[in-house]
Every structure is written in C-alpha cells, then in structure tokens.
Structure 1
Amino acid sequence: MSELHESAMPSPIQDGQDLERQDTKPDVESRGNIAAHLTQSTIERPQTLLHETAFVFILCMSQLMCQAALGQSIAPARIIGRSFGTTNPGQLSWFPAAYSLTVGTFILIAGRLGDLYGHKKLFIGGFAWFALWSLLAGFSVYSNEVFFDCCRAFQGIGPAFTLPNAIAIMGRSYSPGTRKQMVFSLNGAMAPTGFVIGAVFSSLLAEFAWWPWAYWITAIVCVVFVVMGHLIIPYTAPPFLDDSVSMWSRVDALGSITGVSGLVLVNFAWNQAPIVGWTNAYTYVLLIVGIVFLGLFGYIESRHAKFPLIPFAVMDGDVGFLLACVAFGWASFSLWMYYFWQFLENLRNVSPLLASAQFSPVVMSGFCAALTTGYILHRVPGSIIMMIALSAFMVGLILLATAPVGQTYWAQTFVSLIIMPWGMDMSFPAATLLLSNAMPKEHQGVAASLVSTIVNYSISIALGVGGTIEGHINDGGKDILRGYRGAWYLGIGLAGSGVILSFLFGFDNWRKARRAGIQDGKMG
C-alpha cells in the first residue's frame, strides 16, 4: 500500500535500517512513550528453505486455527443446539459470537504483552490456552449451552494471543519488500482455508460421529503446535525494560481494564438483545455502562496513560481511514457468512456437510486474492486496494441477498462465494502489512493487534446487530427469509459505507500527494 506507507506514519521502518537501530533507544517523540523503555531486536529469519517453510507454516497456523474454530461452531450450529435442547436463533448465534467477542477484545492486550515479554512465549502460551478450552468446550456436551458459550468465550482468548504475536514475529523477521508481502499474504489466505477446514470436519463429525470430537481434535492439534512453535521459532532476545517503570504502567493496567470492560459489555448487550429483547432493563443498562467505559478508555489513553495501548504518537488520520474501512468490510462479511449457512441449511434444506462442500470455493478464490494482493501491494495505492476489497464485500452480499430460495447453487450463490474472499484476502493482509512496515519494532505487537481487534470485534458486534434486525422483521419466525435478508441488507449498507470511506481515503491521499508535488515544484 504505497501511498499510506509513504505518508501515513512519521517514522516507517525502511530496508536495512532495522539492524542499525538494534542498539539504539528509540526517540520518545516520534515513536510513543513506551519506546523509551523498550527496544526490540530483529528476529533472525531462518536461512534454509526447509526451516523457513516450517517457520512460516507454524505462524500461519494461528490464522488457520482461529478461523477453523469459528467455522466449527457455525456449520453444525443446529446440531449442537439440538444437543442442548435449543433452536432459538439468538442462542445459536452466541456460539460464534462468544468466540469472536474474546478474540477481538483481548488481542490488543496480547499484542502489548508480546511486545514487552516476548512474542514467542505469548504465541506458544496462546496455543496451550486454546487447547485447554477447546477440550472443555467438547465436554460441555454434558452440561448446557451457557457453559458451552463460556467455553467458547475462553477458547477465543487463545487465538487472541497467537494471532498478533505471530504477525509481530513476521514483522520483526522480514524487512519491507516482496518476500514480506508474500508471507503476510499467505497468512491472510489461511482465513478462508481455516474456516472451510473447521466447517468440513465439524460437519463430518457432527453427522457421522459426535460433535464434541471436533473440539477435542482441535485441542490435540493445538498441543502439536505448541511443540512445533517451541522447536521451530527462533530464539527471541528479550527487550530492554527500564526497571524503574512498574509492570502495571507498562501494560497500561487502567486502560486495559476500562477498554476490555467496555468492549465486552457493549458486545454482550448487542448479542443478548436478540434473545431477551431491548425491553429488559439490563440489556440497555449494560450497553450504556459499556459506552461509559469506552469513553473512559479513550480519555485515559489520550491524556493520562504513560504507555498507552494504542500508540497515538505513531498514528495519524490515514490509519484511522484504513481501520474504519476494515471495520465496515469485516462487519458486513460476518453477516454474509453467518446467514449464508442459515440460508442453505434452513431454507434450502442442505446438510452441514454439503453446505461445507458448497462453501469450499472460497479457499481457492481466497488464495488467489491473497497472492494477488502480495504481488500488487507496492504497485497499487492502498486506497485502491481497500476500494476493491470493499466493493467485493458489497457485491458478494448483494448477490446473496437477492438470490431466490429455489435458484440453482451455480447462479448467484456460487458467484457470491467466488467474489467475497477478495474482500477478505485483500483487506486483511494489506492492512496488517501496512501497519507492520510503518510501525517501529517495539510496536509490532500493537500493529498486528489493531487490525485483528477491528476484524474480530466487528464480526461479533455485527452478528449481534444483525440478530436484532432479524428477530424484529421475521414476523415471529414465520418469515425466515425476510429476517435473513434484513441482516444482509444491513451488511450491504455497511459495505457500501466502506466503499464511500475508501473513496474519501483515496481522495485525501491524492490531495496530499498533489500538494507535496506542488511544494516540490516550488522548491525546485
């Protein structure tokens, strides 16, 4: 994303500069306060092709497993719900929403902890936590859906730690260039691949064995990745830490508490409303309290935090444009994805396994989109890439929202599946790569966290809003299609807003470039 790479950040990392800066304390004014107490060394990239392949593989597995765990609760949602004796759409939507809630909420803290105490440690610890709660999620079959939702929420903390720290390790291992672009794009391509793998295997096990096995197998795989991560990821030198600064100040304890509390409460209110309704006092009270906490978080971060979770000193308006585009796009994607499965299973009477097979084209399409993004990233302005991505989100939703129930799969449904991954796998790798290139080494965890937080929190909050709309317009469950389309129309509106925002983003960058050109001409 050349435009933003050149103009968005005050001190982007350039090729060859990172090694020179290893032994120098960063400047506080240009990089944020925490930089004065923290200096990260560059992680040495594996030198042999075999080792590098294994290195990239284990890091990309964080993205694959994150999305696989999302898919394993969406595809067989009705089967899991029946085992708990529930068919309520609001309760079923909690199965993915509880997971995405904690993934999106805890990522920012995880990135900061990785910056402070070592990305490799947090990456391995995240997979260990992921394994534990995947195991317990399977055993929730002996309890009820509330315990299952709690296990899903705790399960999401695992990928919240693996995702940003994996991306941070990539950012510290590769200098800006084509190689780094392709590695980040491969990581992005794991998202649709992981979702399909999770959906297929959970559907197979739910239909022909027992659905808890999907979670127990996930636990086993995560343990394998713990061992692989320990053996494959190179040693990471500990950062420089000023002993005069307390741990609570470094992790921004007050900001962490208010930020996490606000995000959880707002998200819980929106996702609980489709079940209990907004007439229940605790729903809107929690929403109001959550908004108050978020306001306090913003005040603390901008005025009082010595080491803010969000380093405003190294961010500017272009980053805000970028993250807003990502938020609109992925919020719309979550509505497309969740109600796609409901549409196939409830209205077209497709089994979870067949629905997984029909969903599988996103793997190849997403892979092509990710590689294309890696190839064009330094040739095409970032605003253009985001505009293409948001347009893909919008067109994919329009095709699905207008598809008749009795229409053949190969018409609008198949085309929507081909187009939608271009939104996912252009926006995510481009955004993460941009911030990684522009952020200094000591903020690589935060750079990775910002995009992942926006992506996963947008998914969860959009599911809650979509569920509220669906419940209010489906005539008490009598007109299911109308409810689904109401949620899709919300997604179309979000994606369309993102397209407009990306256009303004591009126009703003063009105006800056033109102004800079005029000034250069005058100086010449």
Structure 2
Amino acid sequence: MSVVDEQPAGVRAATDPPARAGLVLGVACLCQLMVVLDISVVNVALPRIGADLGFAPGSLSWVVNAYTLVFGGLLLLGGRIADLVGHRRTLVVALAAFGLASVLGGLATTPGELIAARGGQGLAAAVLAPVTLTVILVTFPEGPARRRAIAVWSMVAAAGSAFGVLLSGVLTEYLDWRWVLFVNVPIVAAALPLALAGVRDLRRPSAGRLDVVGAVLATASMTLLVLATVYAGEHGWSGTTTLVGLIGSVVTAAGFAYWELRVASQPLVRFGIFRVRTVWVADLIVVFIGAATLGGFYFASLFLQEVLHYSPVKAGAAFLPFCFGIVVGSFTSAKLAARFGNRVLLSVGSLLGAAGMLGFSLLDTGSTFWSFLVPSLVASVGIGACMVANTAMGTSGVAPQEAGLVSGLLNTSRQVGASVALAVLTTVAVSTIHHDSSLKALSRGYSHAFAVAGSFVLVAALVAVLFVPGRPKAVAAD
C-alpha cells in the first residue's frame, strides 16, 4: 500500500486559493493572536489585579489557571465541533463569545467574577485555536501556498506570547490592568466582519453527531491532567490533589481510548489517523517544543524582573528580539524545508532552540541585556522555523473533513506539553531555591529551569532525527 493510500480519504482543498484567501488568513491570525495573548498578557498585571479586587493569598494564580484549565481541557472537543457545525459559524460564535467574556472580565468587581470570565475566555479559545488552523487547511491547497499561510499563522502564534508580556507591561503601567482584557474588544471588532466576509465553508459540515461520551471522557482527562499539573507546580507532586488528578486523568484517558476504539459508532477521534506517521510525529514534537517555549517565556520574564530588576515595560521590551527571531525563522522555513526537507529543518531548528535555552541557563546576577539577547535570537529563530515546518508536516495529506481533528490534536499536544512542563520547571526552580530568596538563589533556580527547558527541545530534535520522514527520492522518467 502506498503512502497516499494510507492517508484519510476525502476531497482535498481546491488547487488554487480562493480570492478571499487573504481575508481568511487575516481572520485566522487575528484570532490566534488573541488566543495566545491571553495566555501571557495577564502575568505582569497580576499584582495590581490582586490588590484591586482583594484576592486572598494563594488564589491569584487562578486568574491564569482558569483560562489554561478550560482551554487545555476542551481543545480536542473544539476542533471536532468545527467539523460538525461548520467552520464559519463556529468561528463567528467563538469570536463573539471571546469578546463578551473579555468585556465581563474587564468589568469584574470581585475575584469570582474575574475568574469566571477568564474561564469563559478559555472556553472560546478552545474553539478558536483549532478552527483558525482548520480554515487555513481547507482554504489553501497543499504546497507552497499552504506553507506560506502556515508560516504567517505560526509566526503569530509563537510571537504573540512574547508580545503579550510587552503589552501587559505597557497597559498595566500606563493605563489600567482592566485593559489587558479590554484590549481583546477591538481585535474582535476587526475580526468579526472579516470572518463574515471572507470565511466560507468549502464543503458541507460532516454528517453525523457529536460523540458525547467521548467528548466528556476526553475533556475530563485533559482537565484533570492540567489541573493536577497546575496544582503540582504550586504545591508539589506528592500532594493528594496532584496524585488524585493524575490517576483520574489516566483512568479517564483509558476509558476514552476504549470507548473510541470499541464502542463509539462515530468517534470523536478516529485513531486510524495516527497510522499517518507525520501526524503522530508532529504531535509528539510539538509537545516538547511547546513545553520549552511557554516555560522559557515564563522564567525569562521572572528573571528579568526579579533578578535584573527590570520594570514591566522594560522586561516586555526585552522580548522584542525574540519576536524578531520568530519572524525570521517562520518566513525562512518554507524555502529551507523545500530545499533540505522537514527532517533536516526540524533537527537543526530544534538544536538551535535547545542551544538558545541552554544559553539562558548561563545567565546570572551580573548578566546584561546583551547576555540575554544572544540566546533570545538563537532560540527564537530555531523555534520559529520548527513550528512552521512541524505544523505543515503534521497537516499534510489530511482530508478537509478531518482538518478540525488534526488541528485539535496539534493544539492539544502543544497545550499539554506547555501545562505539564510549566509545573515541572516550577518544581525544578523551587527545589533549587528552597527558602533562600537571595538574588543568587533565584538566579540559580531559574538557570536550572532553563536547562531543563533546553533538554525538552533536545528531545524534539531526537524525535525529528529518528522519525520524521526523509525527502522522497526523485523517480527517473521512463
């Protein structure tokens, strides 16, 4: 059986992008920017949020966790909903819901109101994240056009987190913390008319119904996993809540696999999709790259503010070179992949990303901005190239009716890797620091966290070398 025969059957995207392709890409990028911004944009504002709304000690982290918990738990379901309901309708409703939740969060007067609004944002984001990639896959034909579109989308996804730190500092320092939520309103206002004008369902939504039992089991497993790792990052891995959450996640995941394989007539996840090697390899690689990226942003922000005593705005500005490197890596990846193949690009890009993260681990209390700049550029160029090549590889040869599934799997893998890694890296840093709050202890703890983040990207490089398909050999003409 040929490789083509192993791929899911179905009608592929048109051979040429439609005239509205530019609008579709613009909508997808605006939505993805908003989703990734809201993962990081509240971080710098947390102290003022806590003081203004009267958060109890230890509860402020739920301003972040409420978003990531719902987002990570519902990603897989969000991707499937788009396939069943229709991409245009799903995108418009999710956009409106995100804007409404953002307004309610900005107007919150109690901790409970803000946490509920953040959960609402996470729910809308769990639908937006996979559907933005899905509309790209069904709009742009496989080949150079799709690679260029994915390059732009991936650049926005990767650079948005870094830009979120800068934006959070500026809004908090010069306006008010509420603007880290209100800032989504103009983005939604710009994206909604573009979505209505540009996004079309190029095929009818999939016939069938949502696998409710599978959706409940998958959501429960993901939510328990994220909840357990969030708790572990704050209280350690041996706590009862952490262990119960991890065990519950494993049990519900096993139940989900059994239901999908043995019982469900219309499964949420067609496990046969993993017979396509590029799908499972791309999912595995993005787990480790996503882990290192989010962990790197988090600890770099802490290092700049707590060790080097940067202001929020200055710390955010220090991430601009990282954004520049992401742009360079993203836009050069398509040509490099065409010339050298995905295996070479992913391997070399991962090694660059790992070198940059390990370079961060060399920072100390005497470091300067220039010491921070070099590893930022090295890591960002490598990671930017990897994200584009990996996304293009993982979505190649996928039928339109399964585009939402593959998008959901990629986004779920990235979020799982990021959530678990952040807990692991926090544990590493805290175990190094112990009760010593001196600058040297903080610097040493963050250094160890960066070293572990670098090891994650090295694992991604190893996976690329071992499992990414090589370039097919040219067949001589008869």
Query: TM over 0.5: same fold?
Result: yes
Letter in 2 for 1:125: V
Contact 1:104/1:160 (<8 A) preserved: yes
Residue 346 of structure 1 is matched in structure 2 by 306
Q: Does 1:185 align with 2:151?
A: yes
Aligned counterpart for 2:85 among listed residues 117, 139, 143: 117
Residue 456 of structure 2 is matched in structure 1 by 494
Mapped to 2, the partners of 1:110 and 1:465 lie a distance apart of: 27
Residue 408 of structure 2 is matched in structure 1 by 449
Give per-residue Cα distances to partners, 1:284-339, cap 9 Å, x unaligned: 21221122111211222233232333322233244323321111111112211100
> Could you tell me how far 1:163 is from its partner in structure 2?
2.3
Equivalent position SS for 1:74: coil
Aligned counterpart for 1:160 among listed residues 108, 121, 126: 126
Mapped to 2, the partners of 1:423 and 1:153 lie a distance apart of: 33
Aligned counterpart for 1:481 among listed residues 440, 443, 462: 443
Aligned counterpart for 2:375 among listed residues 395, 409, 416: 416
Residue 204 of structure 1 is matched in structure 2 by 170
Contact 2:43/2:64 (<8 A) preserved: yes
Larger CA deviation: 271-280 vs 166-175: 271-280
Larger CA deviation: 427-436 vs 183-192: 427-436
Mapped to 2, the partners of 1:453 and 1:262 lie a distance apart of: 12
CA 1:201–1:236 in structure 2 vs 1: closer, same or farther (change >3 Å)? Answer: same
Aligned counterpart for 1:62 among listed residues 23, 26, 31: 31
Aligned counterpart for 1:380 among listed residues 337, 340, 347: 340
Residue 309 of structure 1 is matched in structure 2 by 268
Residue 17 of structure 1 is matched in structure 2 by none
Residue 358 of structure 1 is matched in structure 2 by 318
Q: Pick 1 or 2: higher relative contact order, CA cutoff 8 A, min separation 6.
A: 1
Aligned counterpart for 1:129 among listed residues 63, 75, 97: 97
Q: Does 1:261 align with 2:230?
A: no
Mapped to 2, the partners of 1:395 and 1:203 lie a distance apart of: 28
Q: Does 1:232 align with 2:198?
A: yes
Equivalent position SS for 2:218: helix
Give per-residue Cα distances to partners, 1:49-105, cap 9 Å, x unaligned: xx54333212211221122222312333444344456797x7665544443333333
CA 1:240–1:203 in structure 2 vs 1: closer, same or farther (change >3 Å)? Answer: closer
Contact 1:40/1:441 (<8 A) preserved: yes
Mapped to 1, the partners of 2:76 and 2:124 lie a distance apart of: 13
Letter in 2 for 1:127: L
Equivalent position SS for 2:434: coil
Aligned counterpart for 2:294 among listed residues 302, 310, 334: 334
Mapped to 1, the partners of 2:247 and 2:64 lie a distance apart of: 24
Residue 139 of structure 1 is matched in structure 2 by 107
Residue 428 of structure 2 is matched in structure 1 by 469
Letter in 2 for 1:503: V
> Could you tell me how far 1:464 is from its partner in structure 2?
1.9
Letter in 2 for 1:302: L
Identical-pair percentage: 22
Give per-residue Cα distances to partners, 1:199-218, cap 9 Å, x unaligned: 33321221122101220121
> Could you tell me how far 1:42 is from its partner in structure 2?
5.4
Residue 219 of structure 1 is matched in structure 2 by 185
Contact 1:122/1:161 (<8 A) preserved: yes
Letter in 2 for 1:117: V
Mapped to 2, the partners of 1:62 and 1:153 lie a distance apart of: 17
Mapped to 2, the partners of 1:484 and 1:314 lie a distance apart of: 39
Mapped to 2, the partners of 1:55 and 1:71 lie a distance apart of: 25
Mapped to 2, the partners of 1:44 and 1:132 lie a distance apart of: 36
> Could you tell me how far 1:258 is from its partner in structure 2?
0.8
> Could you tell me how far 1:421 is from its partner in structure 2?
2.1
Letter in 2 for 1:233: V
Contact 2:85/2:205 (<8 A) preserved: yes
Residue 41 of structure 2 is matched in structure 1 by 72
CA 1:309–1:195 in structure 2 vs 1: closer, same or farther (change >3 Å)? Answer: same
CA 1:219–1:143 in structure 2 vs 1: closer, same or farther (change >3 Å)? Answer: same
> Could you tell me how far 1:387 is from its partner in structure 2?
1.2
Mapped to 2, the partners of 1:84 and 1:181 lie a distance apart of: 45
Equivalent position SS for 1:428: helix
Give per-residue Cα distances to partners, 1:205-259, cap 9 Å, x unaligned: 2112210122012134224322321123235442362xxx5x2xxx222111111
Mapped to 2, the partners of 1:294 and 1:310 lie a distance apart of: 12
Q: Does 1:434 align with 2:393?
A: yes
Mapped to 1, the partners of 2:4 and 2:52 lie a distance apart of: 51
Mapped to 1, the partners of 2:4 and 2:177 lie a distance apart of: 47
Mapped to 2, the partners of 1:7 and 1:423 lie a distance apart of: 33
TM-score for both structures, normalised by structure 2 = 0.89
Q: Does 1:293 align with 2:248?
A: no
CA 1:65–1:161 in structure 2 vs 1: closer, same or farther (change >3 Å)? Answer: same
Mapped to 1, the partners of 2:213 and 2:15 lie a distance apart of: 31
Mapped to 2, the partners of 1:9 and 1:485 lie a distance apart of: 46
Equivalent position SS for 2:369: coil
Mapped to 2, the partners of 1:74 and 1:113 lie a distance apart of: 30
Give per-residue Cα distances to partners, 1:266-300, cap 9 Å, x unaligned: 21111112434455423321221122111211222
Contact 1:78/1:87 (<8 A) preserved: no
Equivalent position SS for 1:73: coil
Give per-residue Cα distances to partners, 1:134-170, cap 9 Å, x unaligned: 2222233x212x6544432331222221222222222
Q: Runs of 5+ in structure 2 lacking a partner?
A: none
Mapped to 2, the partners of 1:205 and 1:110 lie a distance apart of: 30
Mapped to 2, the partners of 1:9 and 1:84 lie a distance apart of: 57
Contact 1:104/1:454 (<8 A) preserved: no
TM-score for both structures, normalised by structure 1 = 0.82
Residue 322 of structure 1 is matched in structure 2 by 282
CA 1:158–1:473 in structure 2 vs 1: closer, same or farther (change >3 Å)? Answer: same
> Could you tell me how far 1:505 is from its partner in structure 2?
1.6
CA 1:73–1:230 in structure 2 vs 1: closer, same or farther (change >3 Å)? Answer: same
> Could you tell me how far 1:263 is from its partner in structure 2?
1.0
Aligned counterpart for 1:103 among listed residues 68, 71, 80: 71
Contact 1:40/1:442 (<8 A) preserved: no
Give per-residue Cα distances to partners, 1:390-441, cap 9 Å, x unaligned: 2132112111111122211112x10121122234322322232223321112
Aligned counterpart for 1:504 among listed residues 460, 466, 469: 466
Letter in 1 for 2:99: A
